[in-house]
């Protein structure tokens, strides 16, 4: 682990922290922002806003972040091959600065439209980030550290969520006078990233495979690895480059049409869905409400507690992902979340009869969050980079990112209505989904730990000749599903 590698990864994941911060920041100051909407409406039209219109405006303020994210995620491929991985991250900060200005000055300008447009803009930035960061980190990391460093993306996301939860408290920046500062704070991490990234190198894979600049790639590798002998890394990249030259350019449609890519893109999409449809966003979007329902007197502190658990178990995943393997951790996480969702359902259903069920619900939520960060939280992001070679990787990230953001949007918009319909039994839906994702992971997802990008891709290429879609669990051993490399 060299200083240059730490700088590269550290600079990149500042974008992940932005994504996490903007995911969590909007919940705590809901009442004061709604009050701002009301007063602005009164100043313009001489009457207060109707409850229905206020609900619509608030829902738009929350959900437009995900709509921006979908657009950003789908646009990843337009940037990374043209401008490079590092330069794309640098350029995207212009969106963060614009969003900070729009949201930070929205109160001064008496314009809730500026706030909503700012949320959309930072959503586009976050969508781009969810493609740029895991791709860059995966390409600069040595094979032995790829999983651990890949987990840093998710760690930065959860740290961002936790910072937003703490800053959003009334005592800090969640007050009527300071909420514009809370939303405009994103200026700071954007500035830090703009200072750090110019000192970080471009991805050596991009330099060699996309630009054919072998000397530059070799120089960057020596700095990243801290050694003069980088022949094995170069050889692996050259082999991948040769393979890529034999392939035609891979479009998004080609990922689904070609037998060679159909199975890995299916795995990438389903793993992204397993992250968002697991119920984790339902817990975070409505955690304060759930804790209140469970009888917690200070639900905001319990929500922050869940954020601390979230962060702590991402650190645990960071240290065990290269030992236990991606597939194993994902299976453990899915099974644990399903068990905790069952406990949560029991606790919420029996809350009126038994007071101590409120404690069980808190334990279940904390457990749910902990198991999420062991597997379904970090793994879907960086496994996309591992499943694809350099050619199809940008298109794969675009599709996987779109799947992630779309399912995020659906849960964010739909959970409150389903919760009203199902009451205490709402998490049974997530139990069923978690079981289905467990079955899919067990039978279809290969272990990628300790294997080079080309080794993983070549296995799918062999399978794509005719039998990839028809492998039995035993045959999948060839893809490393049971390997302990």
Question: How do the pLDDT tens digits run along the chain, 485 residues long?
Answer: 899 999 999 999 999 999 999 998 988 888 899 999 999 999 999 999 999 899 889 888 988 999 999 999 999 999 999 999 999 999 999 999 999 999 999 999 999 999 999 999 999 999 999 999 999 999 999 999 999 999 999 999 999 999 998 999 989 999 999 999 999 999 999 999 999 999 999 999 999 999 999 999 999 999 999 999 999 999 989 988 887 777 666 889 989 988 889 999 999 999 999 999 998 877 776 667 677 776 777 777 888 888 899 999 999 999 999 899 999 999 999 999 999 999 989 988 888 888 788 788 889 989 999 999 999 999 999 899 899 888 899 999 999 999 999 998 888 777 778 878 888 788 899 999 999 999 999 999 999 988 888 788 777 777 654 443 444 333 333 333 333 22
How many CB atoms lie under 10 A from the CB of residue 374? 24
CA gap 372, 287 in Å, rounded: 15
Backbone angles phi, psi at 433, to 5 degrees: -60, -40
Sorted by sequence, the CB contacts under 8 Å of residue 318 that are 6+ apart come out as 148, 151, 152, 155, 378
Q: Are 182 and 167 in contact (CB under 8 A)?
A: yes
Chain-centroid distance, C-alpha 135 = 12
Q: Are 160 and 18 in contact (CB under 8 A)?
A: yes
Residues 6+ apart with CB under 8 A from 472: none
> DSSP labels for 254-316?
HHHH-HHHHHHHHHHHHHHHHHHTTSHHHHHHSHHHHHHHTT-SSHHHHHHHHHHHHHHHHHH
Residue 168, number of CB atoms within 10 A of its CB: 24
Q: What's the chain's length in residues?
A: 485
The span from the CA of 411 to the CA of 425, in Å, is 16
DSSP 210: I
201: nearest Cα among 3, 473, 372, 460: 3
pLDDT at res. 240: 83
The pLDDT value given to residue 21: 97
> What CA–CA distance (Å, rounded) separates 405 from 298?
31
pTM to 2 decimals? 0.88
What's the pLDDT score for residue 463?
Answer: 65
For 124, the token pair is 């586009």
Residue 68, CA distances (Å) to 24, 116, 154, 421 in order: 16, 11, 20, 29
| Residue 249 pLDDT | 67
Secondary structure percentages of the chain, helix, strand, coil, to 5: 80, 0, 20
Going by C-alpha positions, the residue among 109, 119, 136 that lies closest to residue 186 is: 119
Beta strand segments in 53-106, E: none
Residue 123 near residue 108, CB atoms below 8 Å:
no
If you compute the radius of gyration of the chain from its CA atoms, what whole number of angstroms results?
23
What is the per-residue pLDDT for 412?
75
Q: What is the dihedral of CA 103, 108, 111, 113, to 10 degrees?
A: -10
């Amino acid at each position: 682990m060299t200083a240059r590698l730490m700088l590269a990864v550290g600079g990149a994941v500042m974008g992940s922290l932005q994504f996490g911060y903007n995911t969590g920041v909007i919940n705590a100051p809901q009442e004061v922002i709604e009050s701002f909407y009301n007063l602005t409406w009164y100043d313009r039209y001489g009457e207060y806003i109707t409850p229905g219109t206020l609900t619509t405006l608030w829902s738009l303020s929350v959900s437009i972040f995900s709509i921006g994210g979908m657009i950003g995620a789908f646009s990843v491929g337009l940037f990374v091959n043209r401008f490079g991985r590092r330069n794309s991250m640098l350029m995207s900060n212009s969106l963060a600065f614009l969003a900070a200005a729009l949201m930070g000055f929205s109160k001064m300008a008496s314009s809730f439209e500026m706030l909503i447009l700012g949320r959309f803009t930072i959503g586009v930035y976050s969508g781009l980030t969810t493609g740029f960061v895991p791709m860059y980190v995966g390409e600069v990391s040595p094979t032995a550290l790829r999983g651990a460093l890949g987990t840093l993306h998710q760690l930065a996301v959860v740290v961002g969520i936790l910072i937003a939860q703490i800053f959003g408290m009334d005592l800090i920046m969640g007050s009527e006078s300071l909420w514009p500062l809370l939303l405009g704070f994103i200026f700071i991490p954007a500035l830090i990233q703009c200072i750090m990234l110019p000192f970080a190198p471009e991805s050596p894979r991009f330099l060699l495979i996309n630009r054919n600049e072998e000397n530059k790639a070799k120089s960057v590798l020596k700095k990243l690895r801290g050694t003069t002998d980088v022949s094995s890394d170069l050889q692996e990249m050259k082999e991948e480059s040769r393979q890529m030259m034999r392939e035609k350019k891979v479009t998004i449609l080609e990922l689904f049409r070609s037998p060679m890519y159909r199975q890995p893109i299916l795995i990438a999409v389903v793993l992204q869905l397993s992250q968002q449809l697991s119920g984790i966003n339902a817990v975070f979007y409505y955690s304060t409400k759930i804790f209140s329902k469970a009888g917690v007197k200070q639900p905001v502190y319990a929500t922050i507690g869940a954020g601390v658990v979230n962060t702590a178990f991402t650190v645990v995943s960071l240290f065990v992902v290269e030992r236990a393997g991606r597939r194993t951790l994902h299976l453990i996480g899915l099974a644990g979340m399903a068990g905790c969702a069952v406990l949560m359902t029991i606790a919420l259903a029996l809350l009126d009869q038994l007071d101590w069920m409120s404690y069980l619900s808190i334990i279940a939520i904390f457990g749910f969050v902990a198991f999420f960060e062991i597997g379904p939280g970090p793994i879907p992001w960086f496994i996309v980079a591992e499943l694809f070679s350099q050619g199809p990787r940008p298109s794969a990230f675009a599709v996987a990112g779109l799947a992630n953001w779309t399912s995020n949007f659906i849960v964010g918009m739909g959970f409150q209505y389903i919760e009203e319909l199902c009451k205490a039994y709402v998490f049974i839906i997530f139990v069923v989904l978690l079981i289905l994702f467990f079955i899919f992971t067990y039978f279809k997802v290969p272990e990628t730990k300790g294997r080079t990008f080309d080794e993983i891709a070549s296995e799918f290429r062999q399978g794509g000749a005719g039998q990839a879609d028809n492998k039995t669990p035993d045959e999948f051993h060839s893809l490393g599903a049971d390997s302990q490399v």
